Structure 1
């Protein structure tokens, strides 16, 4: 009997130890002081050290790549190209004149670990611009290349590289090498526009168009364009030029042959933040700023919305809608443009400039959610929530749900009971989807005075969470469990590179950039109103986009976005355990701790990959541990 009891004790001890994982699955000694850790959209951890960059794939025991060619890099010198496996590394600023300062650029594929472009290897002495274009998977570089004759070594040049094959497609000079006459500034002033049949380069002398073999097509005198966008046919192109004072924008329209299609360019106040080509005209949102100028004559800090004629550039609206703040949400619909203001307020304007809502809808500040629902447009702000008729702007709920201003508001839809659930300021409100009747459903008191920032339906129950708290309520609001995990210390938690709040689908958030996905140069719209609780839409869009690019790295990323996230059934929380500070993996349905990882660090620096379920931990100044969660 004693032997059985002894075996039982040993088994229980072993089971207890099995829940703790102090030994990492992989350990990486980087041989240099670690400065920054960045979890990429592809699941590779990129570490900046005193020597350069290191890429870590938790599935391999050695780093994917080590890039020390340029030495220590600042965060500003390391650009993670969103929606891609690429990092652009830069040192030195591009100069307008050759020979002043040498600049370096490199492009790394962090999934394969290959350096697919290095300006040193291709004899680029200066690099003005270095841009990646998706889904074309091309790299366009401009600058001074020290190859060829003496004259060629002094002449600005553009080169286009294929990133899949790592080969040069074509290159050309922006000026005639050895040209005699007054020196001209041919520096590249903005983002080139890569189209199906040709490439347009914006320079200080004007726009220069070349075929995909580098042959001259046309030039014009529209100077210092910052970025361009084309319509679907690629026959109409819009160029955006920031005025010399840096406060306003001039919009130019040109044809595929380079000829100006508007008699005069169109000037809009502020810097363009959103732009969409529609059959009815051109929608433009620009943000104005007083730049700190308190003069009564300075412009207000707010957005302007204009609707321009595609044929002439003239404003089609006699009176622009008043915003009285910055446009936070901007959606194009069949009958007009819907927009929400960060400082509060929602309105809708027809393409003819008529107000579609009977009157502007007043809302609280910081509109966190604007989405389609079966009953109409649901909005949730830091102060109130309601559903409104998208045609008239009339309230569906008799009166908005109001609560104390809260930095964190969580919500979900309970389909089984046909009700919306909104958690704010320690209360869960239940709103009947049909009648709009509202009632206080339950009180929620989280430790450390936290507010819920996550909410979802799980098997008919309601799951709520914050950084240190987890709770499940049944359909009637009765508590099933409440688990609290004390934060190591507020300073320790805030210093951590990622916590449950900070990480909140870090990789997925990075991927969903309209500017990266569509490059803001290709015809298409990201200004579509999503459906409430439709979390999978953006992941599918990203996965489909990755799959459409003929490159193995993008295929790997597509598979990752189609995978079920490791956090679907678990939450990871940094907390103070008996043996020290650690990360716990907690089951959402029952609150049980499935795994503990003791970090033995009062102020740990770490990253959690919520998709693959991996913890990257800075064990000491030069070592990274990887744990499978």
Structure 2
């Protein structure tokens, strides 16, 4: 059932479709997994482990045997929203019965479990570690620590009813130390609870509570305490001599910033208030860069526009060092700290750069299209690609290096790559493949690329034998002059069911993004350098960065992650497409080199639910409500 045309999916086939005309018997799988209960959700993790939420609990599967990696049934049925995956780690948290909220002060009964989904080890459960209820659970990376707060089961009646905090080692599962937030049995009208993410430093742990910040040694001894209450998150300088705490009000309209002295005292006379929620904060020699996002959607006109604000504060007293903050006119989507100043891009369109004294460095702000997909450094300057245009500009002045920006209609998907052998940038948008000479900036149309079903290319890669573009149902290879070498199209069986997938190169990029987002939301981020402008790289560099990151962390699961991203992706030379085969709905494996069919896997029903792990080269298929098949795609 093959037709002609072009396009391929991204380096990770995120699949879970519907379709087909006839129910068929599925091809014999390489592995079969009975997950016990009815399947509620399937999530493919960064490690390639498929985590399945069922009516009985949570299970993990990974090809290599028909055995489950783990089966967690302590809490019965687990819903997808009760599972949190910790970015850039092998850990997940199961949370049942907790009540959320900005301050997270609920002391209602809640059960939590922490599982290493690579090894299958259940590291922590509320019950196994002797907790009556767990209020907060924070995984601290890259330290591999778990910080728990709540009420314990053991001890006197006073101890059972006194808020306690404990630190566990995630590699061994053992308790490092624990302490009560206040003295058990001491009569007080004060309510003690943890209000935000603790900050783990070299020689102490800072815990934000309803009554102030508590500094504890790594053996649990009190070093100091203050009355800075209801802090949501904290951060420190690399040398840990400067500590900053952030308190977001209940509506998210204001954030207070407090500088804490090494002895716990407040370094500034007054708390500094900024509009909205702080989304980025960086300590630089010139002061403190603060990006805050103010969202006034749904509010009165008097509330002003929704936008980000950028300020530079004095580290000495918190005063605003800029007479006039740079205008954003929207939300900061890209933010980079450079030697000579701050470079930022706005989602609604626009790029600007200001010196640390607040003066503009670009001759005038760049006008760009909306949704800046890429901002990166090249030998010639800053390349940016949006949904409407692309250009390279001088990083010092903002002046165009190319003769003029490349403009196209607002595209649903824009893909790009650098053709090193021909010294040119390739950008595909609006069914057109543009070639931009890296030296002169001259733009030419290399080819017109139209895909069936009105698909847009989601993958563009330079191969030894040509230029490859692909989408869900299409794939094509062009020679380096833009002539079509082949074009394959397989009709989609339908698209009413989509799955969640994290695999391959896209997963690595997603991981980097979620790390950044988690840090912005208040995770431990002392020492995290999130705001460096990356170079424009060819595909594969992100995987290498992930490999190196995991290799630097302790534990067998991180060693496994490092090895996983050291290997090449299964989709490096192949494309997987779901379509109607001669005998029913199935998955076709096609060679990117010549478009030939390398393998076909017939699935069972008209609406198959499946996911593809591109790095592992595995197809996971939901055979029935309690069974998952795994097929080797390599």
Q: 2:75 maps to which residue?
A: 70
For the Cα contact (< 8 Å) 2:109–2:133, is it kept in 1? yes
CA distance in 2, matches of 1:251, 1:460: 56
Post-superposition Cα deviations, 1:27-57, rounded to whole Å, max 9, x if no partner, equal 0122211010011111110000011101001
For the Cα contact (< 8 Å) 1:503–1:607, is it kept in 2? no
Equivalences for 1:26-175 in 2 at 5 Å? 26-93=31-98, 101-175=108-182
- TM superposition shift of 1:243: 2.0
Cα gap change, 1:566 to 1:98, in 2 (>3 Å) = closer
CA distance in 1, matches of 2:311, 2:196: 24
CA distance in 2, matches of 1:318, 1:399: 34
Post-superposition Cα deviations, 1:220-243, rounded to whole Å, max 9, x if no partner, equal 111100001110111111111002
Q: 1:12 maps to which residue?
A: none
CA distance in 1, matches of 2:208, 2:63: 42
Query: Does 2:549 correspond to 1:542?
Result: no
Q: 1:619 maps to which residue?
A: 623
Query: Does 2:462 correspond to 1:457?
Result: yes
CA distance in 2, matches of 1:520, 1:357: 34
RMSD: 2.0
Pick the structure with greater CA Rg.
1
Q: 2:206 aligns with which of 200, 219, 232?
A: 200
Query: Does 2:184 correspond to 1:177?
Result: yes
Q: 1:278 maps to which residue?
A: 284
For the Cα contact (< 8 Å) 2:508–2:546, is it kept in 1? no
Q: 2:534 maps to which residue?
A: 530
Equivalences for 1:168-247 in 2 at 5 Å? 168-180=175-187, 182-247=188-253
CA distance in 2, matches of 1:626, 1:549: 30
For the Cα contact (< 8 Å) 2:107–2:135, is it kept in 1? no
Specify the SS of the correspondent of 2:309.
strand
Q: 2:430 aligns with which of 421, 425, 437?
A: 425
Ranges in structure 2 where 5+ consecutive residues have no aligned partner = 1-24
- TM superposition shift of 1:443: 0.8
Give TM-score scaled by structure 1 length. 0.93
CA distance in 1, matches of 2:474, 2:70: 38
For the Cα contact (< 8 Å) 2:177–2:218, is it kept in 1? yes
Specify the SS of the correspondent of 2:546.
helix
- TM superposition shift of 1:446: 0.7
Q: May I ask how many residue pairs the two structures share in their alignment?
A: 603
- TM superposition shift of 1:496: 3.2
CA distance in 2, matches of 1:94, 1:423: 46
CA distance in 1, matches of 2:471, 2:209: 50
Which has the larger displacement, 43-52 or 100-109?
100-109
Ranges in structure 1 where 5+ consecutive residues have no aligned partner = 1-19
Specify the SS of the correspondent of 1:27.
strand
Post-superposition Cα deviations, 1:542-580, rounded to whole Å, max 9, x if no partner, equal 222322222111111111121111111111111111111
CA distance in 1, matches of 2:99, 2:170: 22
Give TM-score scaled by structure 2 length. 0.92
- Structure scoring higher RCO (CA < 8 A, sep ≥ 6) equals 2
Q: 2:476 maps to which residue?
A: 471
Specify the SS of the correspondent of 2:615.
coil
**Structure 1 segments of 4 or more deviating over 6 A?**
95-100
Q: 1:585 aligns with which of 581, 589, 605?
A: 589
CA distance in 1, matches of 2:437, 2:507: 35
Post-superposition Cα deviations, 1:442-471, rounded to whole Å, max 9, x if no partner, equal 111111111111111111511111111101
Specify the SS of the correspondent of 1:566.
coil
Specify the SS of the correspondent of 1:619.
strand
For the Cα contact (< 8 Å) 1:52–1:66, is it kept in 2? yes
- TM superposition shift of 1:504: 6.7
Specify the SS of the correspondent of 1:116.
strand
Post-superposition Cα deviations, 1:368-411, rounded to whole Å, max 9, x if no partner, equal 11111111111111111111000000011121111111010111
For the Cα contact (< 8 Å) 2:431–2:449, is it kept in 1? yes
